[in-house]
Amino acid sequence: MQQSTHPSQSHSQSSSATDSAVPASGLQQTYSVIPRTRPVTPLLDTIETPADLKSLNTKQLITLADELRLFLLYSAGQSGGHFGANLGVIELTIALHHLLDAPNDQIVWDVGHQAYAHKVLTGRRDKLSTIRAKDGLTAFPERAESVYDTFGVGHSSTAISAGLGMSLALRYQGRAQTVACVIGDGAMTGGMAFEAMNDAVQQDADLLVVLNDNDMSISCSTGGFSRHLAMLWESGYQVDISETGTPVLCPRPMMAGFDRRKRHTEQRAVPRLEDNLFKAIGFTYFGPFDGHNIPELLRVLARAKDVHGPVLVHIYTTKGKGFAPAEADPVGYHAINKLPADDTVNADNKVAIDAQPKSAPALKYSQVFGQFLCDKAVEDDKLLAITPAMEEGSGMIDFARQFPERFFDVAIAEQHAVTLAAGMATQGVKPIVAIYSTFLQRGYDQLIHDVALQNLDVMFAIDRAGLVGEDGATHAGVFDYAFLRCIPNMLIAAPKDENECYQLLNTCYEHKGSTAVRYPRGVGTGATIQRPPQNYKVGQAVVESVLGTDNAPVQLALLVFGTMVATAEQAAQTLIQQYNCQVHVVNMRWVKPLDASLIDRLITQGVTHIATIEEHVLMGGAGSAVNEYLLNESAAFKISRPAICNIGIPDAFVAHGSQAEQLSDCGLDLAGVTRQLQQLLSC
């Protein structure tokens, strides 16, 4: 069998004569502390556009990688944000921008968790500390932000489809430009990625796919595809690329820092070129290569970009590379908060524990769900739980440890997760799908056709509903009321706080049919969870308070959905001081079915004004559901015709910023809600 030259002995033609002294690892520095002051980065400071990388030799590119890594550490400490994935692709980002001609050549980043280095090298270095802040840089690539951001991303597994579309459009127009897609091993588990690869082969498209394999998505990668990638690594061989661009099977050189990935120690037979999935479906495959070795990346990518047809280059990287705490804990350092203002920080950048006793913090809603899951599983052995790669984010760690045989992480495959639950439900068990609101959008056909149409006994625990702050429009769960309530057989619950979340989870679990409990990101109000769990009446709202003067000429009913109840009660206090009115604050609890009898009773009792309040888009939301009922079914409304307004998110995507800033921009903070209610009462 033909043996290729060891990769470290073959450099790209752009390398200089001094490159022989370059360390084989391609990485010079590992850091252990996030700097609090702007580091000295003389070479990085000269890079204003990717064109500035063209004149650098390989040794300078490695120095640039060190400076860029240190700068990203500093910037992350200032702004917070995605962390580990960005540190892991620094060498790859430098190599791509050194070899390609952006923005003429198209670089597409999947998900966008790893695009910070790209932003720095494309003219946004001095703005990086504003990332995720209001009016600052976006958390992900965005076409409106830079000509170098070729495609707006935020959700997983889209890059190959988008890149293929670009390649085919360029070919149709006779334009010779390279299209390179960077996708992680976690994102590659999404079915959309395989649909795109299948079509790329069918179209014989010129497309360069770089598979960044760090054995992680947000959690650890799972499933047969992950095992296949591990097999490619563990074989001890790699498919190298010759000077003419042809695949050559040869022993893989040692890669420092990757020994932890070996899962087996038995001797393996020499594999064949055909022994990988990508080759089998028609891609030209090269790899795996060390994704932190800049000379190696330059050599491989320089040749691979000129190979005709769909090509996949498989590289291995370490999430959090170059920052020792992140390398040791890639899950914990997937994203970080900005450093605290004081200096009481340990070496691993964790805030020192205050000696003063503190009260217990309010629970996150994901923790409430996790507690419910464990509690209910103890009493009901039919409970099974599914997540599409969001074990940590959805609060399922304890459940997965206590009930491993009842926990199913299906990787980044939302459509599969929903239909998997449907299949389970046909066999007499009770599946719960834990999923973010914005990711449930990706399984919408399955939700309609496979679950609701058959009225199967499946519960959806919908996390990250409403505005989510710094992650911006791609992650805002502000459409779920609308796309759920139009589906027959669906029940939709909207808790006001942690206790109600727990009880509504229990209520929907006990209901036989298709249900959803929708709750927000972050912590609640500190409400105590009552046990044993209650079983609320489906479709029954609760009058939380009646404020103001009895028999006042102005009677206002606030029909509030979800966690806006507290804001509504505060606004009511202001209104009764300013107006001679009485305010009924109603916690609706259910978006579907609505408590129509309570609404009619309030109108019959003399309500003169009605306002609906929700952290959701106005179009098609809970307020729209109330309007539809009043206009089409309510006899009481047809008689007295109270004035109505709907308060919610306007018909626009909400830009990133803090959650408080987003609420303010949408008129959903206390001042905004009060102002809109004052306008209603002025009618």
Q: Which residues are catalytic?
A: 319, 414, 442
Q: β-pairing, 237-241 with 247-251? A: antiparallel
Is the peptide bond prior to 7 cis by the omega test (within 30 degrees of 0)? Answer: no
The Cα 411–Cα 389 span in angstroms is 4
Backbone angles phi, psi at 239, to 5 degrees: -95, 100
Concatenate the DSSP letters of all residues of 520-584 into one string.
ESSB---PPPPSSPP-PPTT--EEEEEEE-TT-SEEEEEEE-GGGHHHHHHHHHHHHHHSSEEEE
Structure tokens at 671: 């001042």
- From residue 487, give the alpha-carbon distance in Å to each of 40, 434, 478, 626: 57, 19, 17, 16
DSSP 8-class letter at 454: T
The Cα 376–Cα 31 span in angstroms is 44
By C-alpha distance, which of 319, 343, 322, 344 is closest to 332? 319
The Cα 271–Cα 290 span in angstroms is 19
- As a residue count, the chain comes to 683
The Cα 290–Cα 301 span in angstroms is 12
Cβ count within 10 A of residue 553: 11
Asked if 399 contacts 374 with a C-beta cutoff of 8 angstroms, the reply is yes
Asked if 316 contacts 210 with a C-beta cutoff of 8 angstroms, the reply is no
Cβ count within 10 A of residue 364: 18
Asked if 634 contacts 641 with a C-beta cutoff of 8 angstroms, the reply is no
The Cα 204–Cα 618 span in angstroms is 45
Interaxial angle between packed helices 159-172 and 191-203, expressed in degrees from 0 to 180 and rounded to the nearest 10: 20
- Give the 3-state secondary structure of 185-250: CCHHHCHHHHHHHHHHHHHCCCEEEEEEECCECCCECCCHHHHHHHHHHHCCEEEEECCCCCEEEE
**How many helical (H) and strand (E) elements, i.e. helices and strands, does the chain have?**
23, 21
**At a CB cut-off of 8 Å and minimum separation 6, what does 65 contact?**
26, 27, 28, 90, 91, 94, 294
Q: Which residue pairs from 60-64 have beta carbons closer than 8 angstroms and sit at least 24 positions apart in sequence?
A: 61/94, 61/95, 61/98, 61/294, 61/298, 62/22, 62/23, 62/26, 62/27, 62/28, 62/294, 63/28, 64/94
The Cα 225–Cα 187 span in angstroms is 11
CA dihedral 394, 399, 401, 405 (to 10 degrees): -110
| Cα atoms found within 13 Å of the Cα of residue 247, Cβ hemisphere only | 22
By C-alpha distance, which of 460, 423, 422 is closest to 441? 460
Only one residue has tokens 């795109």, namely 196
The residues facing 209 across adjacent strands are 181, 312
The Cα 427–Cα 380 span in angstroms is 15
Concatenate the DSSP letters of all residues of 592-618 into one string.
ES--HHHHHHHHHTT--EEEEEEEEES
